[in-house]
Structure 1
Amino acid sequence: MVTAITDGVKISVETVYQDEYSNPANDHYVFAYRINIENLSDYAIQLKRRQWFIFDSSGVQREVEGEGVIGLQPVIEPGESHSYVSGCNLTTDMGTMNGSYLMSRLFDDTEFTVDIPKFSLIASYRLN
């Protein structure tokens, strides 16, 4: 698990290679990741936008940007957390992702950026 804290928001990431959905013969590798967003601050926050940078080991880079996460813009109260699972496909069996969330403090509408730490996407057979 990879973890980072920015402005009182803790982001934790776990990844799993999805062998049953991958097809290495066609350069198609699927990974799932679980994100946990924990509000360690004293104020309620809302996740407004996300930005991802996705790299595979062949040097291909993609950027994904948009509103919320998996169709939601969750409000996270102090001491609470929000988790979700999503996925990514690569053309190689190894890569990385990192990015950021645009958050808003609800009491004064102040927006701030929270870092999503870089995490590895590695096919399980490469770890042996």
Structure 2
Amino acid sequence: MSDTVTRGIRIIVQPRFVAEQSDPDRSQYLFAYHITIRNEGEQTVQLLSRHWVITDGEGHVEDVRGPGVVGYQPVLAPGEEFQYTSGCPLTTPVGTMHGEFNMVVPDTRETFDARISPFRLAVPTALN
């Protein structure tokens, strides 16, 4: 799990292994992660884009960037939250993810990155 606050924007990540869509014999492991983005600040913000750094168990790094999240660029007034679930395939039973969401304050057009702290993707039996 990951729980990080940047300028009043709390990002909580809850990852899980999706065994029914994985095939360890073929080195295919699917992980889902549930994200909660909560505006605990005093200004309305909009999520513009995402940036993920995905590292597998062998140290291979993939940099993923794109607009919004799951097709949305949510606007969050103070006290509001947005939740979504997405997935990440790996070829190893263990890996990590971290990144940031680029946010804008519509009133001032000021942008900032809301940090997503590193979290572990792991097959439950892979770690002691």
Q: TM-score, normalised by structure 2?
A: 0.97
Tell me the secondary structure at the aligned position of residue 14 of structure 2: strand
Give RMSD over aligned pairs. Answer: 0.9
Structure 2 residue aligned with 1:98? 98
Q: Distance in 2 between matches of 1:83 and 1:127?
A: 28
Tell me the secondary structure at the aligned position of residue 32 of structure 1: strand
State yes or no: 1:79 paired with 2:79.
Answer: yes
Residues matched between the structures, number: 128
8 Å contact from structure 2 (residues 2, 116) kept in 1:
no
Structure 2 residue aligned with 1:60? 60
Q: Distance in 2 between matches of 1:49 and 1:105?
A: 13
Structure 1 residue aligned with 2:29? 29
Structure 1 residue aligned with 2:18? 18
Aligned-pair distance for 1:126? 2.1
Q: Which amino acid aligns with 2:95?
A: G
Unaligned 5+ segments in structure 2 are none
Q: Deviations over 1:89-113 (max 9, x none)?
A: 0000000000011000111111111
Q: Distance in 2 between matches of 1:22 and 1:113?
A: 32
Q: Distance in 2 between matches of 1:94 and 1:127?
A: 8
Q: Distance in 1 between matches of 2:58 and 2:27?
A: 11
Unaligned 5+ segments in structure 1 are none
Q: Deviations over 1:57-81 (max 9, x none)?
A: 1111101001000110000110111
Aligned-pair distance for 1:14? 0.2
Aligned-pair distance for 1:127? 4.4
Q: TM-score, normalised by structure 1?
A: 0.97
Q: Deviations over 1:19-74 (max 9, x none)?
A: 00000111100000001001011111000010000001111110100100011000
Q: Distance in 1 between matches of 2:83 and 2:18?
A: 19
Structure 2 residue aligned with 1:69? 69
Q: Distance in 1 between matches of 2:58 and 2:75?
A: 38
Structure 1 residue aligned with 2:41? 41
Percent identity of paired positions between Structure 1 and Structure 2: 40
